[in-house]
Amino acid sequence: MRALGVGNALPSFWSQLSRFFAYPFALNGLLFLALLAGLASASAMLFDPQSIQIFLPIFIVVALAVRQGLRVIEFCSQGRAQPPSIPELFDGNPTTLKMFGLMLGYGIAVGCLGHFGLLGFGLIICLSGLLPASIMLLAIHGSLRDALDPIQVFQLALRIGWSYFGLLFVLFITAQGPERAIGLLPATTLRYLAEHYFYLLIAIPVVVTVYFNMVMGAMMGYLLFQHHEDLGIEPDDDGTAAPADYRALELARAVILVRESRYPDALKHMAGMVADYPNDLQVLEYHHKLLCQSRSEPERIQQHTERYLQVLLDMQRKNRMTAVLEAACMVVPHYKPKSIALRRALAEEYFAQKRFNQAIALIGMLHKEAPTSEELPAAYYLLARIYSEGLRDDGKAVMILDFLLKQHAGHAIAGEVGNYRKVILSLGQMSQAAV
C-alpha cells in the first residue's frame, strides 16, 4: 500500500505551469501591478532622471517588488491560491532588507570565487544554483541567518530532490521573460512612447519584470508546498485556498497516512473526502485503490465500486470501468454491480475489447436476476450481438432475439431486434448456400 502514495500526492509541478503564469492576473496581483505602474509613471513625471532624488522612488519600487516576491513564495508554500494583498506586504518583518543582505553576500562570494580561475567559475555556478533555495528559506522563515546557512540551504535542496533541478531550469528560462517580452514590442511603438508618453515607457519594463517575478515566486512556493510536510510548513486553513488546492492538500494528507502505515486512518480520511467530493474521479480512484489493497471490508468495496463505476459512466469514462471492476473482483470474486445499466455498460466495454466471456458473465442471466428491469431488452440485444459477432454462435443469438421479441414485443428496440434477427438468418442461409 505504500506505493499508493507516490502517484497521488499534489498535482505535479509541470502540470501547474499554466497556473503559475496566470497567477499574477488574480485581483491582488493586478492591483499590485497597477500600483507599481502608477509609482513608476509618477516618478518619471515628478523627478528629474538626472537628479539623485530619482533613487528614492526607484528604491521604493524595487523594495515593494522584492517584498511582494517573497510573500508570494510564502503564500504559495502554504497552499494559498491568491497573491498577497497590498496590506499583507507590510507585516513588520524587514525581509526586503534581508533580501538585499542576501544578494550582497552572494555578490561578495562571487567576487571572491572569481579569483580562483576555472575552479572558482565552477563554484560560482554551484552557488548560483543554490541561490533559489536561499531565497525560499528567507521567504518561509524570514531569517537572513537561515538563508545564508549553507547546511540549511543544502538540506532544503536535498529534501526537494530532483524537482529542484527542474525548478532551476524553469527559473532560468522564465528569468529571460522580461527581456523577451519587451523585445516583442515594435521599435516604432517604443519611439512613439518615448516621444509622447515617456511615463508609460518607464512603467512597461517595471510591470513586465514584476509579473515574471511573481511567476517565479509562485513556482518556488508551489514546490515548497509539495514538500510542506517534510519542511514543517503549516498549510493555510483560513479559507483563502482554492477548492482544487484543498482537495489536493487533503489527498496529500491521505498519502502521508499511507506512508506512515496508518491504513485505517487513511481509509477513514478518504471516506470523508468521498463525502466532500462525491464526483471527483481522483478522490474516488484513490479511495478505491486503498479499499482494494486493504482487502478488509468486502461490503465497503462493493458499495464504493458501484458508486465509482456510476460516476465513470456519467462522465463518459467507460474505458476505465473494466479495470475498476477487476480490481474489486480481486477482493470479492464474482462481484457484479447491482445496477443493470452499469452491467450493460461494462459488457459493452468488454465487447469492444473482444473479451466476450467477461461480457456474457455480466449480463447472461438477467432474465433470472432482474426479469423486470427496464435495461433487460437493451442488455439482451447486446448479448445477442456478442454471441453472433463475437463468438460466432448464431444459434444462441437467434434464441435470445426470439426471447426478446416474445417477452418484450412492445419495446422501443423491438423493430431493431427483428431486423437484426433477419440479418443473422439471411447471412446464415448465404453461408449454407456457399458451402
Q: What is the pLDDT of residues 369-421, one digit of tens each?
A: 988 889 999 999 999 999 999 999 999 999 999 999 999 888 888 899 899 99
Grid coordinates of 289 = 485503490
Q: Is the pLDDT of residue 10 over 80?
A: no
**Residue at grid coordinates 524537482:** 163
pLDDT surpassing 70 at residue 201: yes
With cut-offs at 50, 70 and 90, classify the pLDDT of residue 433: low
356 phi and psi, to 5 degrees?
-70, -40
**pLDDT in the model for residue 239:** 42
Spatial contact of 299 and 315, defined as CB atoms under 8 Å apart: no
Bigger pLDDT: 243 vs 391? 391
> What's the rounded Cα separation, in Å, for the pair 85 and 139?
16
Do 375 and 340 meet the contact criterion of CB atoms below 8 Å apart?
yes
Rounded mean pLDDT, 138-159? 89
Q: What confidence score (pLDDT) does residue 236 get?
A: 63
pLDDT for position 72:
93
Q: Kindly report, residue by residue over 72-109, the tens digit of the pLDDT.
A: 999 898 888 889 988 888 877 788 899 999 999 999 99
Q: HSE (CB half, 13 Å, CA atoms) of 254?
A: 33
Q: Are the CB atoms for 382 and 348 separated by under 8 Å?
A: yes
- Min mean pLDDT across 116-120, 138-142, 254-258 is at 254-258
Euclidean distance between CA atoms 397 and 387, whole angstroms: 5
Closest CA to 224 of 319, 173, 156: 156
- C-alpha to C-alpha distances, 223 to 16, 45, 86, 156, 199, nearest whole angstrom: 10, 40, 24, 11, 37
pLDDT in tens, 42-53: 888 888 777 888
The rounded mean pLDDT for the chain is 86
Place 30 in a pLDDT band, splitting at 50, 70 and 90: very high
Going by C-beta distance under 8 Å and a sequence separation of 6 or more, which residues neighbour residue 165? none
Q: Among 116, 106, 36, which Cα is nearest to 69's?
A: 36
Contact status, residue 308 vs residue 288, Cβ threshold 8 Å = yes
Global pTM value: 0.56
pLDDT of residue 429: 72
pLDDT score of 235 more than 70: no
DSSP code string of 1-25: -GGGGTTTSSPPTGGGHHHHHHGGG
pLDDT for the residue numbered 47: 82
Q: Are 309 and 342 in contact (CB under 8 A)?
A: yes
Query: Is 36 in contact with 290 (CB distance < 8 Å)?
Result: no
**Among 2-11, 95-104, 191-200, 207-216, whose mean pLDDT is lowest?**
2-11
State pLDDT tens for residues 324-360: 999 999 999 989 999 999 999 999 999 999 999 999 9
Q: What is the pLDDT of residues 159-199, one digit of tens each?
A: 888 889 999 999 999 999 998 988 888 888 888 887 888 88
pLDDT above 70 as % of the chain: 92
Of 114-118, 255-259, 398-402, the poorest mean pLDDT is in 255-259
Max Cα-Cα span within the chain:
105
Q: How does residue 309 score in pLDDT terms, banded at 50, 70 and 90?
A: very high
Flag whether pLDDT at 61 surpasses 60. Answer: yes
Residue 245 in this model has a pLDDT that exceeds 70: no
Residue 8: which pLDDT band, with cuts at 50, 70 and 90?
A: very low
